Amino acid sequence: MQPDQLKPIVEAALLASTQPMTITQLKALFVDEDEVSTDDLDVALKALAEDCDGRGVELIEVASGFRYQVRQHVHTWVSRLWAEKPSRYSRALLETLALIAYRQPITRPEIEQIRGVVVSSSIIKTLEEREWIRIVGYRDVPGKPALFGTTRGFLDYFNLRSLDALPPLSEIRDLEELNPQMRLNGESEPLPARVQVPMDDVATDEPIQDDPDEAIVTATPDASVVEASEEIAVTDVEDSTNDTDAPHDTPADANDVAASHTADEAENLADVDDDAATQDTEEFRA
């Protein structure tokens, strides 16, 4: 078959197919009489890819085969054909997917150990429903945790021919540095990673010194009560201090105090006598 005849057939087959097509699948479209070889298909595919220069579509090869797709710079306008909004994934999900892609096969506990937080079951379920990851085996340890790896669908979605086409981690940024930035609005703080504490730091002979102010506030719900009790305590201390200091005064001061008490008592007796005399006079007149 002439190349001019082969190109439109291959182009039409790729546009009609809902999935990428391999060279083997394309070759199955022809019979022996067509005399189409693998090399002929390679030449036709390269020519079709060159014909896409300057157009809104491109012919690329992914893990599952060859396909036509919309170019990235026009995707914003083409995506408006669908009323359904594109799916948005959390950073936690993408970070989990990145760990599986770069460190596969990997278990869920190993992902949690690297990230320092618990991997939600919904994240694993979403990745499996998208057919981006699958169980490739089980770790030979107690509990037999599942080993996760990526699928061809993952490679096709991200326009990769193989895992070797993944960019180096150094270009993406260190996952440990990304960890504090993985929280979305409304998400709680990530749980800290488990840290092994030496026994010398746990068991000590010295008692723990509590903050006295904090202890008072914790024991008393009303802060005003605390302040009032403190004022009363201060007043009692001052009074007791004055009482204690009184016996240390000079003897002259003590005599003055005794003399003042004696004078006051005599004055009171005189007042009582005057009142009694007045009462007797009034009774006599009556």
> Is the entire prediction scored with pTM above 0.85?
no
Residue 215 belongs to a domain? no
Residue 200 belongs to a domain? no
Domain enclosing residue 64, as ranges: 3-81
The C-alpha atoms of residue 59 and residue 51 are separated, in whole angstroms, by 9
Domain boundary among 63, 81, 99: 81
Give yes or no: residues 177 and 96 share one domain.
yes
Q: What is the pLDDT of residues 16-56, one digit of tens each?
A: 999 999 999 999 999 988 889 999 999 999 999 999 999 99
* Percent share of the chain, pLDDT over 90: 41
**70-79, 231-240, 259-268, 276-285: range with highest mean pLDDT:** 70-79
Q: Is the pLDDT of residue 124 over 90?
A: yes
Residue 12 belongs to a domain? yes
User: So what's the pLDDT on residue 159?
Assistant: 85
Give yes or no: residues 101 and 155 share one domain.
yes
User: So what's the pLDDT on residue 254?
Assistant: 45
Domains of the chain: total: 2
Residue 100 belongs to a domain? yes
199: its two tokens: 């026994």
113: its two tokens: 């150990």
Could you identify the residue written with the tokens 């439109």? 8
Of 156, 151, 123, 203, nearest in space to 22 by CA: 156
Q: Is the pLDDT of residue 223 over 50?
A: no
Question: What's the chain look like in SS3?
Answer: CCHHHHHHHHHHHHHHCCCCECHHHHHCCCCHHHCCCHHHHHHHHHHHHHHCCCCCEEEEEECCEEEEEECHHHHHHHHHHCCCCCCCCCHHHHHHHHHHHHHCCEEHHHHHHHHCCCCCHHHHHHHHHCCCEEEEEECCCCCCCEEEEECHHHHHHCCCCCHHHCCCHHHHCCHHHHHHHCCCCCCCCCCCCCCCCCHHHHCCCCCCCCCHHHHHHHHCCCHHHHHHHHHHHHHHHHHHHHHHHHHHCCHHHHHHHHHHHHHHHHHHHHHHHHHHHHHHHHHHHC
User: So what's the pLDDT on residue 268?
Assistant: 52
Domain boundary among 55, 81, 107: 81
Give the CATH number of the domain where residue 172 resides: 1.10.10.10
Is 24:64 a contact under the CB 8 Å cutoff? no
Can you say how many angstroms the Cα of residue 71 is from the centroid of all Cα atoms in its chain? 35
Is 62:153 a contact under the CB 8 Å cutoff? no
Q: Which residues pair with 149 in a beta bridge?
A: 134
Q: Is the pLDDT of residue 204 over 70?
A: no
The C-alpha atoms of residue 93 and residue 90 are separated, in whole angstroms, by 5
Domain boundary among 23, 56, 81: 81
The C-alpha atoms of residue 102 and residue 175 are separated, in whole angstroms, by 11
Residue 159 belongs to a domain? yes
Give yes or no: residues 96 and 133 share one domain.
yes
Long-range contacts of 213-217 (CB under 8 A, 24+ apart): none
Q: Taking all residues of the chain, what is their mean pLDDT, rounded to a whole number?
A: 71
The C-alpha atoms of residue 151 and residue 157 are separated, in whole angstroms, by 10
Q: Which residues pair with 57 in a beta bridge?
A: 70
